[in-house]
Amino acid sequence: MVTLNHLSEEDPSDDSPLLPEAVEAATPLRLFHRQPITKPDSWDFFLALLLLYRSQNLALGAVLLFGCYSAVLIPAYFPLKTVVSPSDTNQHTNQVLLNRSASLLSDPCQPRWCLKHPWPLSCSGGLLNIPVFVQQDGPASWDLQPPLGFQGSEEHLALALASLPQPGLPPQLSRDGSCRRCVVVGSGGVLHGSQLGTHIDQYDVIIRMNNAPVAGFERDARSHTTVRLMYPEGAPRSTNEYQDTTMVALV
């Protein structure tokens, strides 16, 4: 066992502290300075707003001006094509046909006009000397081969002429010295809806090509036929097409 004797506690005479004081560290203080908020001047704000609206108005004015000029100039330099309906086109075509036919019928008849105005063809020199219709007692070109002559077809021609029910030309085609008006009606359907039937009936000779129909189309093409000129494969199959026909000519 250990005993401690003469233990005492004495205060220091120099008034020094019992424990050394800790030296305080000098830490710098941070000072935060607030930036002064300056209010915008009202006049500057008004000017900026005015400039903004002015620029927008200029852009809008330019757009409106361009639109006005476009509305005036584009139709003038780039006109739109007028859409014409088929009915309007047909009506115009029919009116042209009616006017042309009325003009031909009102003019005086010109004898031998077709012979004086033949189409220029490479072989047209001798065509006018070949008879259009072959008759039993008429002249025939025996020295030319078909289709211009009958060389080598004499027997077939004699049989064909002998089988005809009526020799010679019909009265409408055999009148010598008189002027007759002729019209050729095709089979392409151009006369459909033209109402040219009354005009066609005023011609003396009406020539229809191939299977140009007449039954049911009397208003546009009438029904009388002087000559039905056709290929055998293009002949009309209905007997109604031959009821008012004077002569049928096969080519």
In this structure, is residue 244 part of a structural domain? Answer: yes
The larger pLDDT score, comparing residue 55 to residue 19, is at 55
pLDDT of residue 244: 85
Report the alpha-carbon distance of residue 108 to residue 110 in Å, rounded.
6
C-beta of residue 210 within 8 angstroms of C-beta of residue 232:
no
* CB atoms closer than 10 angstroms to residue 251: 10
- Asked whether residue 228 is domain-assigned, the answer is yes
Domain that holds residue 195: 178-250
What is the dihedral sign for C-alpha 135, 136, 140, 142?
positive
pTM, full prediction: 0.54
Question: Would 166 be classed as within a structural domain?
Answer: no
DSSP string covering 113-149: HHHHS----TTTTTGGGS-SS--TTS----SS-TTT-
- The backbone torsions φ and ψ at residue 227, rounded to the nearest 5 degrees and listed phi first, read -135, 125
Rg, C-alpha atoms of the chain: 57
Is 222 in contact with 200 (CB distance < 8 Å)?
yes
Sole residue written with tokens 């077939």: 156
Task: Report whether pLDDT(7) > 50.
Answer: no
In a domain, 157, yes or no: no
Is residue 44 over pLDDT 80?
no
Number of C-beta neighbours around residue 242 at 10 A: 13
| SS3 at position 225 | strand
Token pair recorded at residue 118: 């033949």
Residue 232 is assigned to a structural domain of this protein: yes
* Residue type at position 230: M
Give the model's confidence band at 38: pLDDT under 50 very low, under 70 low, under 90 confident, else very high.
Answer: low
224 domain residue, yes or no: yes
- Complete edge-to-edge strand list for the sheet that includes strand 245-250: 182-185, 205-209, 225-230, 245-250
Confidence (pLDDT) at 10: 52
How do residues 149-203 score in pLDDT, each as one tens digit? 777 877 887 787 777 777 667 776 766 667 888 889 888 888 888 888 888 988 8
Spatial distance between the Cα atoms of 85 and 94, rounded to a whole number of angstroms? 15
Which pair of structure tokens corresponds to residue 36? 């002064």
Section 4-21 average pLDDT: 51
Tell me the pLDDT of the chain averaged across its residues.
72
pLDDT tops 60 at residue 61: yes
How many domains is the chain partitioned into structurally?
1
The length of the chain is 251
Amino acid found at 42: S
Query: Would you say residue 217 lies in a domain?
Result: yes
- Which band of pLDDT confidence, cut at 50, 70 and 90, is reported for residue 50? low
- pLDDT of 208 above 70: yes
Q: Are 205 and 183 in contact (CB under 8 A)?
A: yes
What pLDDT does 94 receive?
Answer: 78
Could you read off the pLDDT of 141-152 as tens digits, one per residue? Answer: 667 777 667 778
- In the block, tokens 């009309």 appear at 236
Average pLDDT over residues 37-63: 63
